[in-house]
Amino acid sequence: MGCCSHFNFLFLCFLLILSNIISTSIAKKSSSSHPPIKTLVLPVTKVHYYPGPDQYVIKIKQRTPLLPIKLTIDLGLDNPFMHCDQAYVSSTYKPINCSSPVCSYANYPFEYCSNCPNGGVLNTPGCHDNTCQAYSINNISGRPGSGELFQDIVSVKSINGRSVSVPNFLFICSHTGSLLKLANDVQGMAAFGVSNISFPYQFTAAFGLEKKFAICLSPSEKSNGVIFFGNGPYVLQPGIDVSMSLTYTSLITNYFVKEYYLLLKAIKINGKFVPSDKWQYKLTFDYDKGGNGGTKIGTLLPYTVMESDIFSSVVDEFVKALGKNIPRVANVAPFDVCFNSTGIARSRLGPAVPTIELVFQNKAVWKIFGANSMVQAAKDVMCLAFVSKKEGFWSTAAIEIGGYLLEDNLIQFDLDNNRVGFSSSLLSKQTSCSNFKYTNHA
Ligand SMILES: *[C@@H]1O[C@H](CO)[C@@H](O)[C@H](O)[C@H]1NC(C)=O
Ligand SMILES: *[C@@H]1O[C@H](CO)[C@@H](O)[C@H](O)[C@H]1NC(C)=O
Ligand SMILES: *[C@@H]1O[C@H](CO)[C@@H](O)[C@H](O)[C@H]1NC(C)=O
Ligand SMILES: *[C@@H]1O[C@H](CO)[C@@H](O)[C@H](O)[C@H]1NC(C)=O
């Protein structure tokens, strides 16, 4: 206090304090004149749903006033839908007029038009005359998610933790039946697939970001994974930019089913090629045969499904590589190959089992360790997290990569350059998908 004991010194102190206040408020101002947004972030949580498979659920804020909304993600779905009816309250809900260019853009190359159906209350959400109709589907239950196309405000966070909003984000207003088999409190599906109004297209267009998204799913229901829109760096604790460890292969769009496919060339187990002469041809996605074959990637199925002949070749080599000391035991549903796990050691990368490598076009290799290839299905019983395609399965792909294989891996879809990047297990890079933190909490 020595400096302020005299009056003139007191005045000097006052000036010093004042200039301090002014300079900090200037600093605050300049940081709030925001730098351009480069990357958006959505937290994603695994949710158990009985009796169906686990779902990966995101949370956004939507409407005026803003309300938190949960949506199940579907990597393969084209158009996002949300249940809405008279309980949907928002002063910014706006149905899309049939004559709006947005209608044909969303439904490219068609335009669908409809009036409020009989029995509906005119001019309530989902029920307007002369509005654009769009189509979608809940592929967990097979129920349609179609209805009136509308826009409303959506708020999400940018990578530094700041909330940013899109005033005209489009959804289909769907019937309550569209929610069948979705997890508790989920109000629709977030579509990431091939469409002009899927999440990646809408979010990247709204902020002029590069048309890319990356998905990093956490295996735990207690910790969030993360989805990024836009370019890296994607930094996970303790300061690792996982966008630097991506290996790229071509992304093929299957326009028959409007879904993402990859070109798998071979499978290796512990470095050795799995013999493939009997089924090699199935790995090529065939435009001429209605889009059959090939390898697709999605989040609705938990375990990677393979045509039975591909599956049995993989199992033969896997069992050989695992060795005689690990006996097979009776299968636990839904798995097709299970082992007594008492003799299987544990490692940082999960159960210590033979490494499975998926070798894609451009020699891009996705290395799969125990954390993604084995499931503890019962006490002392561990099963291979790949299953054989069952009769009646609707997919036309020869292999369908499911959610369990994606966990604690970063997968980037670079839509402008038609390529997919994958990191292989982040556990081998001393991080995991639950390690994202906003760079500063605004
Ligand atoms: C969704 O279901 C439709 C119709 O059954 C099917 O054609 C399509 O391939 C499915 N897509 C996904 C992503 O499951
Ligand atoms: C939709 O377009 C029609 C003509 O195409 C017009 O009469 C109508 O007022 C428009 N409705 C809205 C809500 O903009
Ligand atoms: C998006 O719309 C444009 C026309 O505006 C069309 O050329 C393009 O094929 C559409 N994309 C998809 C994925 O439907
Ligand atoms: C697994 O092996 C252990 C040790 O040999 C044995 O005690 C146990 O009963 C086996 N469990 C199963 C499910 O086969």
Please tell me the distance from the alpha carbon of residue 317 to that of residue 313, in angstroms, as a whole number.
Answer: 6
Collapsing DSSP to helix, strand or coil, 22 comes out as helix
Q: Kindly state whether residues 275 and 365 are assigned to the same domain.
A: yes
Collapsing DSSP to helix, strand or coil, 362 comes out as helix
Please tell me the distance from the alpha carbon of residue 317 to that of residue 339, in angstroms, as a whole number.
Answer: 15
pTM of the model: 0.89
pLDDT score of 109: 75
305 burial level (CB within 10 Å; 0-12, 13-18, 19+): buried
Q: Kindly state whether residues 139 and 268 are assigned to the same domain.
A: no
Q: What average pLDDT does the structure give for the chain?
A: 89
Residue 8 has pLDDT above 60, yes or no: no
Atom 5 of ligand 3, residue of closest alpha carbon: 105
Q: Which of 97, 102, 114, 133 to mutate to test the pocket of ligand 2 (most atoms within 8 A of CB)?
A: 97
Any ligand 1 atom below 6 A from CB of 251: no
Of 160, 186, 209, which residue is a domain's last? 209
Q: Kindly state whether residues 52 and 183 are assigned to the same domain.
A: yes
Please tell me the distance from the alpha carbon of residue 283 to that of residue 305, in angstroms, as a whole number.
Answer: 13
Atom 7 of ligand 2, residue of closest alpha carbon: 130
Q: Is residue 307 part of a domain?
A: yes
pLDDT score of 13: 40
pLDDT score of 31: 43
Q: Kindly state whether residues 145 and 263 are assigned to the same domain.
A: no
Q: Kindly state whether residues 195 and 248 are assigned to the same domain.
A: no
Q: Is the peptide bond before 334 cis (omega within 30 degrees of 0)?
A: yes
The separation between CA 351 and the C-alpha centre of its own chain, rounded to angstroms, equals 25
Please tell me the distance from the alpha carbon of residue 84 to that of residue 118, in angstroms, as a whole number.
Answer: 17
Residue 257 has pLDDT above 80, yes or no: no
Q: Kindly state whether residues 247 and 288 are assigned to the same domain.
A: yes
For residue 439, what pLDDT band results from cuts at 50, 70 and 90?
A: confident
Q: Kindly state whether residues 265 and 412 are assigned to the same domain.
A: yes
Any ligand 2 atom below 6 A from CB of 123: no
Distance from Cα 122 to the centre of ligand 1, integer Å: 32
Q: Kindly state whether residues 173 and 258 are assigned to the same domain.
A: no
Ligand 2 nearest-atom number relative to CA 97? 1
Q: How many structural domains comprise the chain?
A: 2
pLDDT score of 391: 62
Q: Is residue 441 part of a domain?
A: no
Residues 310-348 pLDDT 10s: 999 999 999 999 999 999 999 999 999 999 999 999 999
Q: Is residue 230 part of a domain?
A: no
Any ligand 3 atom below 6 A from CB of 107: no
pLDDT score of 394: 56
For residue 53, what pLDDT band results from cuts at 50, 70 and 90?
A: confident
Q: Is residue 366 part of a domain?
A: yes
Tell me what percent of the residues of the chain surpass a pLDDT of 90: 80
Q: Give the DSSP letter of residue 79.
A: S
Residues 78-133 pLDDT 10s: 999 999 988 999 999 999 999 999 998 888 877 789 999 878 899 999 999 999 99
Q: Is residue 341 part of a domain?
A: yes
Residue 381 φ then ψ, to 5°:
-120, 120
Range of the domain at 330: 240-435
Q: Kindly state whether residues 192 and 253 are assigned to the same domain.
A: no
Q: Is residue 442 part of a domain?
A: no
Any ligand 3 atom below 6 A from CB of 202: no
Q: Kindly state whether residues 192 and 325 are assigned to the same domain.
A: no
Q: Is residue 165 part of a domain?
A: yes
Do the beta carbons of residue 46 and residue 54 sit within 8 Å? yes
CATH number of the domain at 427, please. 2.40.70.10
Q: Is residue 229 part of a domain?
A: no
Residues 289-302 pLDDT 10s: 666 789 999 999 99
Any ligand 1 atom below 6 A from CB of 400: no
Residue 36 has pLDDT above 90, yes or no: no
Assigned token pair, 278: 């009997």
Q: Kindly state whether residues 10 and 50 are assigned to the same domain.
A: yes
pLDDT score of 131: 95
Average pLDDT over residues 154-167: 96
Q: Kindly state whether residues 185 and 308 are assigned to the same domain.
A: no
Any ligand 3 atom below 6 A from CB of 79: no
pLDDT score of 341: 97
Of 162, 189, 209, which residue is a domain's last? 209
